[in-house]
Structure 1
Amino acid sequence: MIRRLICAAILCASASHALADESGTTPIALRCDHFFDANTGKLLGPTTIIVVGERIQSVQSGDVATTDMRVIDHPGMTCLPGLIDSHTHLTMQFSKSTYSDKFRMNPADDAIAGTVYARRTLEAGFTTVRNLGDGDNASIALRNAINRGTVPGPRIFTAGGPIGTTGGHADPSNGFRWDLQGDPDAKNGIINSPADAWKAVRQHYKDGADLIKIMPSGGVLDESSSAENAQMTVAEIEAVVAAAHDYGFSVAAHAHGAEAIRRAVIAGVDSIEHGTYMDEQDMKLMKQHGTWYVPTIIAGKYVQEKAGEGWFPPQIARKAEEVGPIIQATAGKAWKAGVRIAFGTDAGVYPHGDNAKEFGYMVEAGMPPAFVLQSATTQAAALLRRAADIGSLEAGKFADIIGVAGDPLADISRMRHVDFVMKGGVVYKDGAGAVRP
């Protein structure tokens, strides 16, 4: 009897191991009627993508004969690289009650909500995001949970909390009564000198951040009076950049105002976020320095709309109504001027999962559809310094693949209806066709 039980246990374990091996290593042949080549910006014909494990083994034109593979076949589907949103806030989402929720909600609430927002983002076709600001490092915990496989979500490269100055856009106590304001310091991301800047960056390294986000200008949704005034000195920004680059971080700069943009570019930041009041001098400087621009048009439009619906206190509503009508035109001018542009949306200011609306706004601003798709693939991957792994569908890169029906170059709104999502060789969404063994 004991011998039989041992044999049965071994057989069960072997069978279980075999099933695990099959599900983890069986190659996948993904057949696409069309294929977006992100390197050239061209739409190609029928293509077969062979996936082994978490990476692409080969990309071959035509309907390639396959044996001993799991075949996924979607007639009419266009395959594209997994999309990259370069500006998200996955652990928050604005609502009518946001300004009072901060007195009721705990960090754990934000972290749990983030698991929902992460899944929505992934299912919308965004397999990678750059998360630019959170509270209590909730996005670092979310990133770790996704990397462990605990919850589904995109690849997250997170800045943790933003770095700014006392009373600036990053100061969490703006608008509070005096006895509640406190005096947040460099450990909390609030700096007032180059020395503070070094400490804040080093704290981010200690916390496990992937990059740095700074606030050198005013913002729309905090309770200060200006969205565009300069709020960091060149010396402070230079200190952040020097410290960040010592630790292998890139630096993203939230900057609406022209002077703040100029200071940030001169000081060596890697990207300008929003850039609402960017002028010709700023654009020339950005081209000279190779600085990236992440427009976030959808966020400007959304806050303008909600200001009209009474969502915000009067001072914030005024700023939203000023910024909203400008940001799209600025993005169009920057593209015409030849500024490097990466796709980003400020997700969390508007509802997560609607990220792809930005494509339509970029096209309305004058950018060609192929360019806007590249901005969310090859260009965003370059900004992230991850072009060796993501951003295009090529042998050796992660199998981050999405599918939409029809031709997104002819109708960019198709990007808002993603039918198929694979991240790292795992299918997370498959709503358009059959999966064959």
Structure 2
Amino acid sequence: MVSGNCAESNFGTVRIELPESHSELTPGLERACQVATARHVYRWGPSDTLRGELPADFELRFNCLTDKDGLRRFYPTLGSEGLISMLFAGGLAISIKQNGLSGEQARNSRMKFLLFQKMRKLNNRQQRKFQGIKDLYIKRPGRSDKGQRNVLPDSLGMISDCDDFPWGMNKLRIEGEKLARAYGYNRPSMHQTIEYGLFAAARSRPLMIEEPEQVEGLLRIALYNEQNTCDCDFQTREWIEGEVVAATDAHLNDSQDDFNEWFWGSKNSFLKQIARKRCPYGNVTNPMVRKVLLDLGWQAYTYVADCIHAQMCNFQNALLNPLNKQERQIYEMLYQKQSYLANLPLLLLYERIPFLKAPMLAVLNGQNDFEFAGTVHQLLYYYSQMSDSRRGADRLIQDFHVSCRSQNRPIKILEFDESCPVEDNGKRRKYKPLYDEDNQGWDD
């Protein structure tokens, strides 16, 4: 049934409304609204067949911005984590009805989602954005190698293994500014310069991998700082998995606050509870439980992706005015499963969107003169390398600070540079030049 700005079908009900005048906007959405010609709020409600599987007030809301060319783009009103939870709930309800899941199967599905959330709350999640000089530059106490002044990959910009030197920070800046201007940024900011510099390097040597297992492994190391399988025998691993599932299942009927505090509160001892139990196959340690938990959480990604895909297909099919080809390309890139991302939607990798934004915008704007999937894979690999280098450098700097405090020494890092002139009083200037030729890049 269609009436005015409301469309009702087997896929759900979509209502189109004007936004409330006092509604708050995120900085990103506020910038998008400045160039949009219209803004509406799309509200999706479940169909009668799904309503019994969802809370009475369940509703998805998206800001729909229309640009000067008439293209619609959908932005969630919730944060990414909240949106993922809502889409999982909706997708699970769809799966229950379409696939006839039993109550026990639905309960197991909810448990998978909890393990997925647990994995995302562990402290091994990659958080670096690499949008500024401080993220790239390594101070002297953090250098494991005398010549290591930044976290850029050793193969950055090398088209073949025969190339003599990888790009330094100065080359990254030059190539980044050049490519950013070619894509319409007349005065690129620092993070845009870095973003397009990495894009330029990645598209010159795309990483060609096609096996789903390899792509999945690449995504895992780009999202988390370890790609581990459990370092224990098969029987011990199965025992740990069983204990994790049993412990979680025993608390599923707790109140939401009590469950949250037990499962991922600041003082939770979930890992210790499992490790302290007596295993018939040998001793179990916290790291072993952690690795099994990570594996279970990663396996749940596939199921969460299926639920998100199902829910967003229903939303798309329920629209009063169907998406055109270009709108569908934008919509599906973000919200539906992608083969080059191991059949995950980009939404599940939202932390890496700033790192992958440049090639994606290029493709959406019709500038597809490069190997898209290989470029995205290379950028993800760059990220994992840079994150490893950054973590190692930060650890050395932290050790340096601890050593200084233990010896009651002031923590002061001076960068000796012969190119920096000496003042009349015999002391070097407080600040060095931002750029020096010797290290081919920015310095502090």
Query: TM-score with structure 1 length normalisation?
Result: 0.21
**Greater fraction strand:** 1
TM-score (norm 2): 0.21
